[in-house]
Amino acid sequence: MYLDCKKILNNFNEGYSRWTPGWHLLGANAAFLRLMGIRAGDASSEIPNADRESPAFYEFGKAVMRETERQDAVKNFEFRLWRGSGGHCWVCTDAWRISNAEGETAYYEAYVRDVTPFKLKEAEFSHQLFYDLLTGLPNRELFTDRLQMALETQKRHPGMHHGVLSLDLRNFKNINRHYGRNFGDMVLRHVATVLGLCCRTVDTVARTSSDGFSVLLHGPETGAQLVKIIKRIKESLAAPFTLWEQSMDSVEMDIGVLFPLSDYSKAESVLRDVSIAVSRAQAVNNKSNCKFFSKKMLEQNRQDIALSVILREKSDIKGFYLLYQPIVRGTGGLHSFEALARWQHNGKTIPPTMFIPIAEKTGFIKRLGFFFIEEAIRQMQCWQKEHNARCKLHVNISPYQFLAPDFSRNVLDILHNTGFDASSLLFEVTESSFLYDFRNAARHIGVLRENGIAFCLDDFGTGYSSLSYLKQMPIDCLKIDRSFVEMVDYDHKARILLKHILDLGEDMGYELVVEGVEKQIQLDSLGDLSRLLIQGYYFYKPLPPPSVEALFEEQK
């Protein structure tokens, strides 16, 4: 049977060629010529000086000649071909060197496959391994790798400085729950863009957890320089923005900072310490915060872990008690008391900002929360009886307490069992109660308000403070956060903002409490005091019950 070899070769998808050390192409099929960008009428005809016909063939041929001179034959040799305006393509080659009787190279032979589609898939795959799909930023693996490289460079060049920021979105779960996951995704992309714009291209901005970002900064020499960058980031995140017809006033992020890195040799240790700094930042009130890592934090962290073990294992309310901070009328006179929790543990007084978040994480808050409600009611009843007290009682309720389906029923049971007048009771809740699970929180609040308990939105002005949201909230009272009052004596804009918040609150029919008043100048900046209730060290600090009793005696 006659085989037309030329025809068969030309129908091959795989390229075939044979050439001499002097670049004389002895034979090549159509696929090979196409790959190399050689235009030849008759595919199998010889081409002398083929290196001049195509730069792609010149580069490819040189590489094959180099490899086969070294090891006679190569298998699966990958090469990136540059085909001028045709762009790049990847080829995979099996090639060998054929010698003459004298052992000199007579010619080279190569089979070439175009593997560009596989290479693209591979690149896409490895991109997915090291980049976050949603934001396009490097992921934790790549960030850790770059950080490790920075630490190693720093070892060789001690004058080189780096800093690491860890940024966590506050209440991100709640944003997802309330606005939906798509919106949550957009917020993440928004943050990625903002961070990218605030940093230089040599810095690495990465998404390192579901709601967390990390930044590796090259070159800051002092903490002050770092603070400038952080300020820029915070200001950009604080700007209102609209995504998908939904506007948000700002993005709240807690920031942990680690600088300098000179004591570190492992990326993992840097990441551990910066995450301690960010969790310290998260533990501060309801506001977003920034904390520089210090060795002291390691100790605090150890204490926290020890506390959480104690809270988890003992689940014992021994040592917990309440202080009572008077709230006064703007026109004068006691109006109410806010019950504020404390924990006496190992001879130390532990503030609520330390143990409430742990109790929330461990679930102990459910039991502790009811203990505080019962204890505050018992105390107030005692003062009503013995001192004829006519004050209202404010009790703080954690968002986690609303998660219990029987929360409102249990509160009503307490009222029933103690006979306490519900109209003397006011629960302070934060915005996060609604963000977490609006329907559930609103249901409990609805039931309790129907039964006479009033609700106050605590720390108003921090968090997301969405005004459109405010009108939906089933509350009776607004408590303006301390940070506004803190700023009024040196920040003119804060004074204007405070005035307008108070006007807005009044127009919406809420009772208004201003917290954190410490100085006369702050009191003076509040305008018409007759519409306000005021709480702050200027009047009273949180007091133990005997001091409250002395106060009642004084007022008789």
With binding defined as CB under 6 A, does residue 109 bind ligand C2E? no
Cα 170 to the center of its chain, rounded Å: 7
Sign of the C-alpha dihedral computed for residues 196, 199, 204 and 208 taken in this order: negative
* 431 forms part of the interface with Mg ion (CB under 5 A): no
Question: Does residue 475 interact with ligand C2E by CB under 6 A?
Answer: no
362 near ligand C2E, rule: CB under 6 A: no
Buried b (16+ CB within 10 A) or exposed e, 77-115: bebebeeeeeeebbbbbebbbeeeeeeeeebbbbbbbbb
| Binding of ligand C2E by 458 (CB under 6 A) | yes
Binding string, 436-475, against Mg ion, x = CB under 5 A?
Answer: ----------------------xx----------------
Establish if 459 lies at the interface with ligand C2E (CB under 6 A): yes
Site residues for Mg ion, 20-79, by CB under 5 A, read none
Kindly state whether residue 431 participates in binding ligand C2E, applying the rule CB under 6 A: no
Q: Which residue is at the shortest CB distance from Mg ion?
A: 428
Whole-number minimum distance, CB 226 to ligand C2E, in Å? Answer: 27
Amino acid at residue number 536: G
Q: Which is nearer to ligand C2E, 109 or 360 (CB)?
A: 360
Binding track over 373-412 against Mg ion, x by CB under 5 A:
-----------------------x----------------
Smallest separation, CB 279 to Mg ion (Å): 21
CA atoms of 361 and 510, how far apart (whole Å): 32
How far out from the chain centre does Cα 537 lie? Answer: 34
Binding to ligand C2E by CB under 6 A, coded x per residue (else -) over 364-403, reads --------x-----------------------xxx-----
Q: In angstroms, what CA-CA distances link 430 with 10, 456, 462?
A: 76, 8, 10
- Near Mg ion by CB under 5 A: residue from 51, 53, 428, 431: 428
Please identify which residue in the block is written with the tokens 């580069």.
59
Contact 47, 53 (CB under 8 A): yes
For residues 318-357, which are near ligand C2E according to CB under 6 A? 325, 339-341, 351-353, 356
b/e for 468-481, b at 16 or more Cβ within 10 A?
eebeebebebbbbb
Strands 392-396 and 334-345: parallel
Structure tokens at 421: 């007048």
Q: Which is nearer to ligand C2E, 29 or 432 (CB)?
A: 432
Write the interaction track for ligand C2E spanning residues 483-522; mark x where CB under 6 A is met and - where it is not: --------------------------------xxxx----
Query: Nearest approach, Cβ of 227 to Mg ion (angstroms)?
Result: 27
CB of 516 to Mg ion, least distance (A): 8
Query: Do the strands 25-28 and 15-19 form a parallel or antiparallel pair, or are they unpaired?
Result: antiparallel
Query: How far is CA 493 from its chain centroid?
Result: 29
Write down the least CB distance from residue 340 to ligand C2E, Å. 4
Least distance in angstroms from the C-beta of 325 to ligand C2E: 6
- Asked whether 195 and 167 are in contact (CB, 8 A), the reply is yes
Q: Does 408 bind ligand C2E (CB under 6 A)?
A: no
CA atoms within 13 A of residue 498's CA, in its CB half-sphere:
28
d(CA 202, CA 216): 9
Q: Hey, what are 211's tokens?
A: 């709601």
- Between 352 and 363, name the residue whose CB sits nearer to ligand C2E: 352
Site membership for ligand C2E, residue 535 (CB under 6 A): yes
With 0-12 / 13-18 / 19 or more C-beta atoms within 10 angstroms meaning exposed / middle / buried, residue 232 is middle
- Phi/psi for 431 (5° steps) reads -55, -30
Q: What is the CA radius of gyration of the chain?
A: 35
**Residue 204: which of 132, 263, 269 has the closest Cα?**
132
- The binder of 372, among ligand C2E, Mg ion, none, by C-beta within 5 to 8 A per type, is ligand C2E
- Can residue 532 be called a binding residue for ligand C2E (CB under 6 A)? no
Q: Considering only CA atoms, which of 187, 161, 192, 193 is closest in space to residue 174? A: 187
**In this chain, which stretch among 260-268, 270-278, 443-451, 533-541 interacts with ligand C2E, using CB under 6 A?**
533-541
C-beta of residue 293 within 8 angstroms of C-beta of residue 263: no
For ligand C2E, the closer CB: 274 or 380: 380
CB of 375 to ligand C2E, least distance (A): 9
Task: Work out what residue 340 binds among Mg ion, ligand C2E, none; the CB cut-off runs from 5 to 8 Å by kind.
Answer: ligand C2E
Cβ 486 to ligand C2E, closest distance in Å?
A: 8
Contacts of 261 (CB under 8 A, 6+ apart): 150, 151, 154, 161, 162, 163, 164, 270
Nearer of residues 114 and 360 to ligand C2E, judged by Cβ: 360
The residues binding Mg ion (CB under 5 A) are 396, 428, 458-459
Binding footprint of ligand C2E on the chain (CB under 6 A): 325, 339-341, 351-353, 356, 372, 396-398, 428, 458-459, 482, 515-518, 535-537, 542
